[in-house]
Amino acid sequence: MNATFLKSILIISALISVVVVGCVSCSEEDDTAVAEGETTGDGLVLAVDSSLFLTNDGSVIITTVPCTLSDGTVTDCYQIVATSTPADHQMGPWCPENIADGDEAGGIWLENGQVYDVDGAFIENMATFYNDDTWLMYNENGDIFITETEEDCANAANPNVGEEYENFCVECLPSYVADLTQTYLIPITPVKLSSSENFGGDGPGGGNGPSVRGIAFNGVRYDAPAPTDAILGAYTLAPFDDAGGHINLNAGYHYHAATGVNTQLAQDDGHAAMIGYAIDGHGFYAQLDAEGNEPTGLDDCRGHEDETRGYHYHADAPGSNNFINCLNGAYAN
């Protein structure tokens, strides 16, 4: 190759680089001004990073769609279509089969801020635990009464559960919801509100907002608190698996506790690991940092701000049957 030819190639490459770099910087300024994190009057605002979701097996499909937020902002959202089948862990088990079974045979239950293993001994001890002799969820062989069919699941995982399901351990299996998908909209760039919005549905506050608290990287929703009073009031138990999830026929598989089983993104500075996004597009993090300490300075929603992550939320304790209390960002209508 002669020197002149090489020189012209170098010049052409240099020109191409200038053009490419030029374009990238204009488009960043135009549409994705905060994609890499920008400090505005409201502090650091980070866009949702869609590459963090576990999309390889098709259980999470993300597209960009136009959307209008609760504060009137017209913007783009990520539409997340999820099968709620976690790519990063198994679902279940929920109900142990016999009162002699160990903790590997069952899931967990949340009571008084504590996480209890639902092993055989827990089921055997329920009358004592709840100080109520009506509890007797097993027969003379120690075999535990467990819902067996999709119809049982539909009937027993229902606020008006009939007496025929008293003393049943309720579990709905993945096969019942194999064809179900959930669709969520999350603002790509979160918009902080001047006052918080309550969640809708059964959760604290009972406002007009969404009831879904957030989405894990595997596409499974962090849901409103489980209606444990109604479940126990019907003398049923609907355990969560060790990941804090269980299934109902409408929501599919969903979480009620952040137990550290689904994908956690460790943070270089020792801050609590990231576990997904809140439904308003702000980051969602575990309860405790790398040294086991609670976050400080949380607001009423369980959010706070730092220079690395901007405004973000921390999950409530796994035993609390709660994730966050309200939203400080606008949500997609």
Q: Give helix then strand counts, H and E, for the chain.
A: 5, 19
Q: How far is the CB of 286 from Zn ion (least distance, A)?
A: 9
> What is the DSSP secondary structure assignment for residue 174, as one 8-state letter?
G
Nearer to Zn ion, 69 or 170 (CB): 170
Q: Does 275 bind Zn ion (CB under 5 A)?
A: no
Q: How far apart are CA 53 and CA 115, in angstroms?
A: 27
Nearer to Zn ion, 226 or 324 (CB): 226
The region of 67-75, 100-108, 139-147, 294-302 touching Zn ion under the rule CB under 5 A is 294-302
Q: Minimum Å distance from CB 94 to Zn ion? A: 11
Contact between 161 and Zn ion (CB under 5 A)? no
Q: How far is the CB of 254 from Zn ion (least distance, A)?
A: 6
Nearer to Zn ion, 226 or 301 (CB): 226
In sequence order, the 6+-apart residues with CB closer than 8 A to the CB of 141 are 98
Residue 281, both tokens = 């597009």
Cis peptide before 295 (omega within 30 of 0): no
The yes or no reply on residue 295 touching Zn ion (CB under 5 A) is yes
Pairing of β 274-278 and β 214-215: antiparallel
- Stretch touching Zn ion by CB under 5 A, among 32-40, 118-126, 213-221, 292-300: 292-300
* Count of residues of this chain found to bind Zn ion when the rule CB under 5 A is applied: 2
Nearest to 54 by CA among 14, 12, 82, 29: 82
Binding region for Zn ion (CB under 5 A) out of 31-39, 119-127, 221-229, 321-329: 221-229
Instruction: Find, among 95, 122, 91, 121, the residue nearest to 106 by Cα.
Output: 95
Q: Which stretch binds Zn ion (CB under 5 A): 158-166, 196-204, 274-282, 290-298?
A: 290-298
> Smallest distance from the beta carbon of 229 to Zn ion, in angstroms?
13
- Is there a contact between 243 and 216 (Cβ–Cβ < 8 Å)? no
Question: Binding string to Zn ion for residues 222 to 251, with x set by CB under 5 A, is what?
Answer: ----x-------------------------
The string of DSSP codes covering 236-269 is EE--B-TTSEEEETTTEEEES---S-S--B--TT
Q: How far is the CB of 28 from Zn ion (least distance, A)?
A: 27
Question: Interface residues with Zn ion (CB under 5 A)?
Answer: 226, 295
